[in-house]
Structure 1
Amino acid sequence: MSDSETSHNERFEHEGSRILRGRLAPARAGMWLLAKSLGRLVRIGRLTVFDPLGETWRFGPGGEPAVSVRLTDRALPAQLLANPSLALGEAYMDGTLRIEAGTLRDLLSICMTDMDTIDALPGRRLNRCLDAFRNRRLHHNPISRSHANVAHHYDISTELYDLFLDADRQYSCAYFPTGTETLDEAQTLKKRHIAAKLLLRPGLEVLDIGSGWGGLAVELARQHGARVTGLSLSTEQITAARDRAAQSGLSGRVTFEQRDYREERGQYDRVVSVGMFEHVGRSGFDAFFGTLQRVLKPDGVGLLHAIGTKAPKGGSDPWVRKYIFPGGYLPTLSETIAAAERSGMWVTDVEVLRLHYAETLRHWSERFAAERETARTLYDERFCRMWEFYLAVCEMAFRNGRLMVFQIQLAKRHDTVPLTRDYIAEAEAGQIAKNISSDRTGRTP
């Protein structure tokens, strides 16, 4: 053990005894307790913390990544202990936590490497208990609340989303078969992968629940001859999607309605939902799958693409819930499948995409960083810090934490889809050949 490490440990022991005797000021006691937690938490790289009282603390085995942060508010150490996620995000937004060396993504990578240790923090455990107590209110989304929740996130400037999304405005997990694809390529492959699982053919009626800016609906109509109805609660998205359909010459085959999925009364051959189930809320699972069961024709096929968690229970992060997705709930795969089975449908295929969203978010972060000044003219510095934190913390939750994306295929009959999964790869290969032929002839398929 080096002299510096010995000195560091001696300071912990000395100040720990002073806390027990009640002889340490609250601000210093808070920092000491935070340092004890960081000593257990930091397993990679080097984290240097300059605390509000002028002390310097160092954690980790050394090497890369190396990050230095300065805390400027004496109350911040105690806040970080009481509610780590919420306090860290707010401190970065407010500038009471400043990164002086390294990057935000490096800081979150260091802090989120060991999720079991994070979950063992007293503040984290307490907040999970409180969330469990408030679970129904936190994640209950009747139609009126769903409208407000969607407006909070999706009815902000479309110009902001154009700064970091791909050209098709796909705001969900892309598909990286090799990991070397560009963002635009991976989003195109995601749409192709979903279409293959839907077993599309010309003339089928498709319902797209949570249709966003319309990219998937337009793709299914243009490339596969489907007739698509897209549903969204976002005014901004509906306006943009309708404009897109008109510009593509597909208004006769693609329509977009500002309507809650629970109000849908049509009958469809196919139902797809990408990146929307996370907004349903735990108490809405049965209504969601009941709707799918009701609107699907007897030989219909459904596909759900959603973020989930392998944690023992689903839930939501306090900071993300407050600032980004109010009412959001990330389910476990087991509770999602249980709800699907309660509706009477067959689960005919399940695929878990693990690191695909981490790569998607990395691309989004890099694109946003390149356009940060433009974002600041649209909003302000605090908003930019909020968006940076959102993209970075979500990336690390997928890269180091328990989050993933699952795709669940559903049907009313167990003989609706082929016996093996070969048809998925065959359909994707067929679409590639179709596109190559189109490129050669100069005609759109």
Structure 2
Amino acid sequence: MLEKQVYSKLFAHAFDIPISVKYWDGKVENYGQGEPEVKVEIKKSIPLTQLVDQPTLVLGEAYMNGEIEIDGSIQKLVASAYRNSGSFLTKNSFLKHLPKMSHSEKESKKDVQSHYDIGNDFYKLWLDKSMTYSCAYFRTPADSLEQAQMNKIEHILYKLQPKSGQTLLDIGSGWGSLLIVAAEKFGLKATGITLSQEQYDYTQNLIKEHHLEDQVKVLLQDYREVKGQYDLVTSVGMFEHVGKENLETYFKEVHEFLKPEGRALIHGITGQHRGAGVDPFIIKYIFPGGYIPNLEENVGHIIDAGLQITDIEPLRRHYQRTLEIWNENYMKVFDQAADKYGLPFARMWTLYLQACAASFEAGNIDVVQYLLTKAPSGTGLPMTRDYLYQAENSNN
């Protein structure tokens, strides 16, 4: 009885929308004013100490295993909790004791492969044809995901004001879509690096399909192993993988990769709060070793590395929309994923995609593009920001 009272108190203050909770004994409680917008069924009692200490991990595992069912939008439910400063879901003691995570070259490769080497077949189920697994850029509300991903790649490259024949290094090159566009549309000599065997093999085939062997190459390497200097550097969705203790090294490496007047466009998820940018559920099941730095951390490391900031652009709403479309795509193939990878795995990805969309929606995290120069800020670029959009507009 006491346990149920504590549960009731926790849920009463957890959300800013009305919900109903059906407990394991069959009793239903409504919380908040009005008709419940989301219904939650808890089929099995969860120890309260675990629930309070690591709520996202405990509830996430319970959902994966079918011990919790949610009737309604997971995104709406999670965003509601994030908006509510009094929610126990936002008071995670795990964050007070950030576990030490190794980010040696060996461990980084293991972490990356645990996520990206699930297999290209899995990602093909719900990504667009370009296999771009990062925030898209919606120039208009009518843009398809595929168009928005191409918009994003071109937006990044236009910002750098590339000249045909220049060299480009893409740190964390994914499945290679940026490399192909950089070569075909902008005439760049592009090199990509990845730690994922699946991404490496896919990109190698892509280069051959586009007959770009003399212009594009991909290396199965850690960013700390790369040698040489380049006119331009891009890095999309990469610094979230390097770890808190290696952010300084990462930005210093970007500096070293650039020629004296080189430019870099760094695109990644950035925390909108101070403190530990980790979540126990995501660390355990999605991105081992992951860490989301906040804006202050990144800017400090950029300055310490000797890089100068020319432009910073947040794209929070774009990533929310990207995740919502990914989830729509994923739900259409949910049964295929469950048949091939197991129901807990399939439910885990449902939760992950919707919870991430909720986090962007609530403003917990953002995705930011940092335009950096090795020379004094803006060297070699136009005097105003007009150029950032003129080229895009003239080509669309």
Give the TM interval when normalised to the shorter protein.
over 0.9
In the alignment, structure 1 residue 74 sits paired with structure 2 residue 74: no
Q: TM-score, normalised by structure 2?
A: 0.95
Kept in 2: contact 1:305–1:406 (CA 8 A) = yes
Which structure carries more relative contact order (alpha carbon 8 Å, separation 6+)?
2
Tell me the number of residue pairs that the alignment of Structure 1 and Structure 2 aligns: 394
What amino acid is the match of 1:267? Q
- Distance in 1 (alpha carbons) for counterparts of 2:37 and 2:150: 36
Corresponding position of 1:60: 32
- Distance in 1 (alpha carbons) for counterparts of 2:233 and 2:57: 36
- Distance in 1 (alpha carbons) for counterparts of 2:222 and 2:395: 32
In the alignment, structure 1 residue 154 sits paired with structure 2 residue 116: yes
Match of 2:256 among 270, 275, 294: 294
Secondary structure of the residue aligned to 1:355 is helix
Larger radius of gyration: 1
What amino acid is the match of 1:60? G
Corresponding position of 2:314: 352
In the alignment, structure 1 residue 327 sits paired with structure 2 residue 289: yes
Secondary structure of the residue aligned to 1:89 is helix
Corresponding position of 1:16: none
CA drift of 1:124 comes to: 2.6
In the alignment, structure 1 residue 37 sits paired with structure 2 residue 7: no
- Distance in 1 (alpha carbons) for counterparts of 2:80 and 2:375: 48
In the alignment, structure 1 residue 127 sits paired with structure 2 residue 94: yes
In the alignment, structure 1 residue 243 sits paired with structure 2 residue 205: yes
- Distance in 2 (alpha carbons) for counterparts of 1:423 and 1:318: 42
- Distance in 1 (alpha carbons) for counterparts of 2:256 and 2:231: 12
Q: Which runs of 5+ in 1 are unaligned?
A: 1-27, 433-445
What amino acid is the match of 1:66? E
In the alignment, structure 1 residue 340 sits paired with structure 2 residue 312: no
- Distance in 1 (alpha carbons) for counterparts of 2:89 and 2:278: 18
Kept in 2: contact 1:82–1:122 (CA 8 A) = no
Secondary structure of the residue aligned to 1:266 is coil
In the alignment, structure 1 residue 222 sits paired with structure 2 residue 193: no
- Distance in 2 (alpha carbons) for counterparts of 1:146 and 1:240: 20
Q: Which runs of 5+ in 2 are unaligned?
A: none
CA drift of 1:243 comes to: 0.2
Corresponding position of 2:221: 259
CA drift of 1:248 comes to: 0.9
- Distance in 1 (alpha carbons) for counterparts of 2:257 and 2:75: 43
**Dislocated runs of 4+, deviation >4 Å:** none
What amino acid is the match of 2:127? L
More helix by share: 1
Secondary structure of the residue aligned to 2:199 is helix
- Distance in 2 (alpha carbons) for counterparts of 1:222 and 1:62: 56
Q: Give 1:26-425 correspondences, 5 Å limit.
A: 28-44=1-17, 46-63=18-35, 66-75=37-46, 78-99=49-70, 101-114=71-84, 116-118=85-87, 121=88, 124-131=91-98, 134=99, 137-138=100-101, 140-414=102-376, 415-425=379-389
Kept in 1: contact 2:272–2:363 (CA 8 A) = no
Q: 1:134-191, CA deviations, whole angstroms, 9 ceiling, x for partnerless residues?
A: 3xx13x4111110110011001121110111111011000112333322111111111
Pair 122,300 (structure 1): closer, same or farther in 2 beyond 3 Å: closer
Kept in 1: contact 2:172–2:238 (CA 8 A) = yes
Q: 1:69-104, CA deviations, whole angstroms, 9 ceiling, x for partnerless residues?
A: 2212123555333321111111100111123x3243
Pair 325,430 (structure 1): closer, same or farther in 2 beyond 3 Å: same
Superposed CA RMSD:
1.7
Secondary structure of the residue aligned to 1:91 is helix
Kept in 1: contact 2:43–2:67 (CA 8 A) = yes
Using the aligned pairs only, state the percent identity.
Answer: 36
Q: 1:400-426, CA deviations, whole angstroms, 9 ceiling, x for partnerless residues?
A: 141110000111112232221111112
Q: 1:416-441, CA deviations, whole angstroms, 9 ceiling, x for partnerless residues?
A: 32221111112213433xxxxxxxxx
Pair 348,122 (structure 1): closer, same or farther in 2 beyond 3 Å: closer
Q: TM-score, normalised by structure 1?
A: 0.85
